[in-house]
Structure 1
Amino acid sequence: MRLHRVICLLWACLALTGCSALLEREYATVEPHSSKFWESEAAGTLRAENYQDIVNDLLILIGQHTESATVRLYNYEDDLTVADTLEQATTEIQQETSMGAYAVEYITASSRAQRGYYEISLQISYRRTAEQIQAVVNATSTEALPALLETALDEGRTELAVRIGYWGENDQARVEEAVAQLREERGLTETPAWTISYYPPSGQVGLIEFVMGQPPAEENAENLE
């Protein structure tokens, strides 16, 4: 009986060891007050140690609709490299990220060498209000759009911005079909066309904006009758 118990205990240990190995995963999240991105001794000052950190810092600031901020950039020792890195990061934010393309008008950055780091001063101008950014809805795919648009109409809203987790090859056509069907079902075919804007406007779309009224002209908008 004692031998049987020992064998069972050994099997249990092996099973737990195997399960723990399977459950071990690495996760990376961008949190507004994560110690990885904020300087502990300087309130309101972000930190960055590489290019990706700079991009993450900018996304944090945009999510909070921050207009000016300071970033301490470590591991850089050359003024020209810092300038090139900042230009590349701000360009990526505005042209390749959905929230940057949706919300930001322009970003300016200047740097000053300090002992052990560069102090980066950022200025961000927005084309969307803080309320618009906070109102962005998250959806795993475009399949959720009809229900979200129905709810927006029921609530009397004139615009809806949805961040999409997955964008497929034919999803733009599906979005336009869903909007056309909804307008027909709601008897809205004789009303002004909706404006659908995709962000970023080219490549992998990550955010879709619907303006369900008479919209301003948008360079990357597609009007549906």
Structure 2
Amino acid sequence: MPALALCLSLLLSGCVSLNGSTYTVVEPHVEQPVLGEDSSTVKASTYSELVNGVLFFVTQGMETGIIQLTDYNGDVEEDLNRACLEVAKDDPLGAYAVDFIKNDYTTILTTYEATITISYKRTLDQISSLVNITGTSAIREETVQALSSFKTELALRVGYFTGDADTVKEQVRQAYYDTPAAALGMPECTVTLYPETGTQRIVEILLDYPQESTALKRQSQELMEQAETILSPIRYQIETRRLDLLMEALPGAVKVSAQGGSTAWDALVGKGANHEGLALAFQLLCDGLGLESDIVEGTFQGEPRFFNRVVRNGAAVWVDLSRSTGQTYTAAQMAEMGYQWEGQEA
């Protein structure tokens, strides 16, 4: 039998090119494949199991794996090439992590043994660090955490993805204003989607900050210490008085400069901040007191302007520290002065 097997054995090979123009788009396969004698060997008898086996090797970061095909009715050579291309080009993880996939197979009677060789463009740490989220809106929350620690790279496996790279960039921009303690200069953002189409994607976000992370962390620490100095006399007062006490403290605490910097650090520690930096500083202080507030990006007399909305005793009031460091305004007063913003009542 060994001699007969040797005579019947045919060694065939294939290599997947990621530039191929014809392929089948499928949803990611997540089924656990049937393992062989060890974890580097899986069994398959259908095309979907074949694809799932190749994807299993990728999820494990394996460079080589064996697929044993039994009772397989398809064209083995064609299906191996197609399955490898499908994983490398159409599956989010494959498109993100794989450089190319090669396959060789040997046939003995009705059994085939395929050797899958995978070359990666990502490290195993990058693959294992992927964060699973659902929906495009969840990108903002994950980016907040990345910005807070000045991470330079974030990769998210997003289910039910809608939008495009510009949608993601807007989420990153919004996340920046959600983190005033770390908003020390808007990072340059590069977004890549894997694959280019589909509702299941891996979103890669690369962040290039205006300063080194050590300098940013030092500034953030200085900012938080100064904020604590301002807030410590107020924090333990009754909740209904905290906003009024904060407004009383602000004239001596913030530095206003129309030509100043655009961060909270400039407003509280540096030589002065413009309207953007002042809005970030006010948001930081409100967060520290547990006040419901947010940064508003609107216009003042037709020019771009950052200011704040904060809730006082259940009603919203508006603050623009570049106009007054100690006064709040109603929506009607803001409109009369020439402010406009999204969601503004007519």
RMSD: 2.2
Give the aligned partner of residue 60 of structure 2.
64
Please give the secondary structure, in 2, of the residue aligned with 1:176. helix
Q: CA deviation at 1:187?
A: 4.1
After alignment, is 171-180 or 50-59 more displaced?
171-180
Give the aligned partner of residue 181 of structure 1.
174
* CA 1:148–1:77: 2 relative to 1, 3 Å: closer
Match of 1:139 among 114, 119, 133: 133
Distance (Å, rounded) in 2 between the aligned partners of 1:181 and 1:43: 44
Match of 1:207 among 202, 217, 233: 202
* CA 1:97–1:77: 2 relative to 1, 3 Å: closer
1:47 aligns with 2:40: no
1:194 aligns with 2:160: no
Number of residue equivalences: 177
- Structure 1 segments, 4+ long, off by >6 Å, are none
After alignment, is 69-78 or 93-102 more displaced?
69-78
The answer as to whether partners of 2:131 and 2:157 remain within 8 angstroms in 1 is yes
Q: CA deviation at 1:116?
A: 3.6
* CA 1:201–1:188: 2 relative to 1, 3 Å: farther
Q: CA deviation at 1:92?
A: 0.8
Please give the secondary structure, in 2, of the residue aligned with 1:65. coil
Per-residue CA deviations over 1:5-51 (Å, capped at 9, x if unaligned) read: xxxxxxxxxxxxxxxxxxxxxxx9523xxxx5212x45631111111
* CA 1:154–1:180: 2 relative to 1, 3 Å: closer
Q: CA deviation at 1:137?
A: 0.1
1:37 aligns with 2:30: no
Q: CA deviation at 1:206?
A: 1.3
* CA 1:88–1:142: 2 relative to 1, 3 Å: same
Rg larger in structure: 2
1:85 aligns with 2:82: no
1:128 aligns with 2:122: yes
Distance (Å, rounded) in 1 between the aligned partners of 2:143 and 2:55: 26
TM-score by length of 1: 0.71
Match of 1:110 among 104, 108, 112: 104
1:162 is aligned with what amino acid?
A: L
Distance (Å, rounded) in 1 between the aligned partners of 2:173 and 2:39: 49
The answer as to whether partners of 1:111 and 1:118 remain within 8 angstroms in 2 is yes
